[in-house]
Amino acid sequence: MTASSKELSQEALNLASFSFSLEQKTALFTQLKQQRGILFQRDIIALCNEHKLTETQLLKACVPVASLFSVAPISQFYVGAIALGINQQGETQFYFGANVEFTHQALSLVVHAEQSAINNAWLNGAKSVIKIAISDAPCGYCRQFMNELDTADSLEILLPEKHFSLHDLLPNAFGPKDLGNEISLMSQSASTHQFSGISNACDETLIKTALNAYVPYTGNFSAVKISTYHDGDFYGSYAENAAYSPSLSPLQSALSQFYLSGLSFDDQTVKSITLLETEDAKNQLEVAKAVLASFENPPAFEYITAALIK
């Protein structure tokens, strides 16, 4: 049974507001960049004890920090979101996210903050998302994206002044089961697929990330690797949606992870980008080209396709 919007809103009113000071926000932002946008359970416990907060109070207080990761050159509207997820060890973690925009490209290519937070949880092995706190009310696009989660029926949405269930904000929803899909985002078991004819030199993590893609509608198991000169590698995976449009491309997924480290996408930072996708279902090359065209001096780009063994 899910809580009603009235009950959730009353809970919001009962929680005394708390805000970090500018110095505290700066320190937390620095820490989160080093942890690639994740606040671990040990951090959550320490902050709750230090400031005498409940977990939910801390979650909401952290949202303005999430907004600091926003890259919004078009709208100048900085949105932050945090997914409260449970990892494979049963620990609570906060997965941060923020909106990412691309200049001179279709607005449909942007990454919404809610997508970013859920993507962060998914790529980092969370087994479920229980709540999501957002700086502003989620648009219909994001409500549809959240409806792909396996916890959609019980998902709580925390706004600054009110709390809702996803069902309150998206009644009579269209979802995976309407297309005959019995799985949902973050409900999948380990992939049993393999690629054939792929070079032994191909990054094993990139292959694994591609095979773990959520692609029930096209079967295009695909992923992107962003290689940097000094800050390691960042991976993104393709996450599809029953309504199709809210799907998150592997390059958008990887770029969202990249920006959650507080990095700048420039030729002094990014060395190369690699896209891997399934030969018989490929559909991501033109999307990747469009996104990369928004950057000055885009990095070297490698494109790999491979046949899938089911």
Rg (the chain; Cα; Å): 19
Concatenate the DSSP letters of all residues of 277-289 into one string: EEGGG---HHHHH
Single-letter amino acid code for the residue at 217: Y
- Whether 114 sits among the annotated catalytic residues: the reply is yes
109-130: b (≥16 Cβ within 10 Å) or e = bbbbbbbbbbbbbbbeebbbbe
Q: Which of 101, 114, 156, 240 is catalytic?
A: 114
Phi, psi of 259 (to 5 degrees): -70, -20
Place of tokens 């994206």: 145
Of 34, 58, 60, 37, nearest to 47 (Cα)?
Answer: 58
CA distance 45 to 58: 10
Residues catalogued as catalytic: 114
